Chain A
Amino acid sequence: MKHLWFSVAFAALVGTGAQAAELPEAIKQAGTLRLTVNSTYAPMEYRDPASNELVGLDIDLAGELAKRLGVKIVWSETPFAELIPSLQTKRADFIISGISDRASRRETADFIDYLTTGPQFFVMADNAAKTAVDLCGKKVGTTRSTSFPVEIEKWSKANCEAAGKPAMQYVPGENSIDVRNQLKQARIDAAVQGSETLPYAQSQEAGKYRVVGEPFAIGYQGIMIRKDDTALREVVTQHLTAMIADGSYKAILEKWGLGANAVEKPMVNASTQ
């Protein structure tokens, strides 16, 4: 039985191998992938405080991908809101930077979804809130350049206002660090961050924060590739599929404490929001 599976898997590999997508000529010739990240989003991508090296789950994933493609990565950095322009202006070949797959971002690019994510409420450990509904009418902060402000409004409409409770008051923040600082000063009562970043934040400041409820909208983080770059999309999808099959994908997720956020296979534009 085991042998049969192996041969099926082998046949499948050979099958895809025969029509293996090729890297675009320009990348192949340069021997480098130019990737742009916003390195303020630990543990997805951040600069290690001791070494100043760019590290994180996305960095490892991209590194493994590049190894298989036989190219080197040249990283550059940019504010979160400038990621999509970087892709459009071809400063970046693709974007892997903790960016959520959203319909509104798909006008010029496709997403290869590789990680589950969702906005997550959290509070200071001594806060009285037990469930997310307890946060109705309270000040809730999040990074203004993300999709979270809209998510909070939607959730508040459906769960606070619909139940006759006061709406959540959204307070803008500049990035996750700024939002947590506002939380510490009690400028806001609760905060929202991507569920994939909270374990790391909690490990940095042990016992300081407590999550409230579950991630309140399920979505995916995706690798963004220009719509006209179909060859690159195929190559990346193929190698990502292979990395999931041989366990190297899972190993990277486990290393960053996010094994639970794994996907079964890479999907294109799969988020429903």
Chain B
Amino acid sequence: MRTADTYAGDFPDLSGMPVARQLHWQRWLAAAAIVLVLAAIGRAFVNGQIEWTYVGRFLTAKVILEGIVNTMVMAVLAMALGIVMGVVAAIMRLSPNPVLKSVAAGYTWLFRGTPLILQLLLWFNLALVFPTIGIPGLWSARAVDVMTPFLSALLGLGINQGAYTSEVMRAGMLSVDIGQYEAAQAIGMGRLRALRRIILPQAMRVVIPPLGNEFIGMVKATSLASVIQYPELLHNAENIYYANSRVIELLIVAGLWYLLVVSILTPLQMLLERRFARGTLQIGR
């Protein structure tokens, strides 16, 4: 049996030597360069034509805070509508029934194929096509009373989101091994029950990261509803600068709030991911 001693004569014993620390001078150089560039940009912002007192004053203005609440309410509701529509569309898309399949494909095609802002403007101006809407004989109302900026924004954002979410959900369902479908069938589960009990719970693990991504996108997409007078964050910030001409100051205010909201959402997504991934191997947390 060979021991370390056997080699003592051939190789110098390095075990007692201190390990030299690498200097990584390139990292230091790069970091210094980045800090310098950031400082220069920061300085430009401080010295530029920006009156920072306005940023401070309006950061917590009532109108701005109301705007954030409206932004979040709209983002959550539209996303909820989007997920419901997306799940339904994905299930229809993967069904063997050709009618359901084509309806789902058509839905995705139509709402993914036109710009979101165009859809919002169409919903808002729906009364030009349907002056009154309702159920014949039961109930009817002027379209403009129903299609408030709130509802127009909710339908526009939610239905558009559903078209994208359906593809995310479809990917999630396809990621579940075909054996799981077969096993569910073998123990006598119907298609819908198998989806609910077996497939969707497993698909959730896969769809959470892209859905979190889409939700963060939705928070910012609500700003498009400003053009149909939904009083979200950007709309309210604009109203302030229309009155006092402090454009860049108010845009900075809105930008800071969007960043804050997204910074809070990111760790929440992590928690959600962990919850749905329990019981599986967690890779790359």
Q: Which residues of A contact B (CB under 8 A)?
A: 81-82, 84-85, 88-89, 104-105, 107, 144-146, 150, 171-174, 178, 181, 184-187
Contact between chains at A181 and B125 (CB < 8 Å): yes
In the complex the two chains form, is B125's CB within 8 Å of A174's CB?
no
Among the 9-residue stretches B90-98, B154-162, B242-250, B257-265, the one with 4 or more Cβ atoms under 8 Å from chain A is B242-250
B131, B229, B243 — most chain A CB neighbours (10 Å): B229
Contact A81 B247 (CB under 8 A): yes
B22 interface residue, CB < 8 Å from A? no
A208–chain B nearest beta-carbon distance, Å: 13
Q: Nearest B residue to A84 by beta-carbon distance?
A: B245
Check B245–A174 contact: CB distance below 8 A: no
Extra contacts, 18 of them, besides A150-B243, A172-B239, A186-B142 (Cβ < 8 A), are A81-B238, A81-B241, A81-B247, A84-B245, A84-B247, A89-B49, A104-B243, A107-B245, A144-B229, A144-B238, A144-B239, A171-B229, A172-B229, A173-B229, A174-B229, A178-B227, A184-B128, A185-B143
- Does B221 interact with chain A (Cβ within 8 Å)? no
B144 within 8 Å of A (CB atoms): yes
Considering the complex, give the chain A residue whose CB is closest to the CB of B144: A187
Task: Tell me, yes or no, whether B127 is within 8 Å of chain A by CB.
Answer: yes
B245 is contacted by which of A104, A144, A150, A173 (Cβ under 8 Å)?
A104
Give A201 Cβ to nearest chain B Cβ, in Å. 17
Complex contacts, B142 vs chain A, CB 8 Å = 186
Assess the A186–B245 pair: CB atoms within 8 A. Answer: no
Residues on B with beta carbons closer than 8 Å to the beta carbon of A186: 127, 142, 144
| Contact residues, B198-249 vs A (CB, 8 A) | 227-229, 238-239, 241-245, 247-248
Question: Hey, which chain B residues are within 8 Å of A150, CB to CB?
Answer: 243
Contact of B242 among A81, A89, A181, A184 (CB under 8 A): A81
Task: List the B side residues contacting A172 at CB < 8 Å.
Answer: 229, 239
Determine which of B127, B227, B243, B248 lies in contact with A185 in the assembled complex, contact meaning CB atoms within 8 Å.
B127
Sample of 12 A–B contacts (CB below 8 Å): A81-B241, A82-B247, A84-B245, A85-B247, A89-B49, A104-B245, A144-B242, A173-B229, A181-B125, A184-B128, A185-B143, A187-B127
Which among A89, A105, A144, A173 has the greatest number of chain B C-beta atoms within 10 A? A144
Of chain B, the residue at the smallest CB distance from A175 is B227
Q: Which residue of A lies closest to B226 (CB)?
A: A174
Give the distance in Å from the alpha carbon of A81 to the alpha carbon of B244 in the complex. Answer: 11
Q: Which single residue of chain A is at the shortest CB-CB distance from B126?
A: A185
A88 and B49 form a contact (CB under 8 A): yes
Set of chain A residues within 8 Å of B239, measured between Cβ atoms: 144, 172
Give complex CA distance A172, B144 in Å: 15
Are the C-beta atoms of B128 and A174 separated by less than 8 Å? no
- Which of B125, B239, B244, B245: most chain A Cβ within 10 A? B245
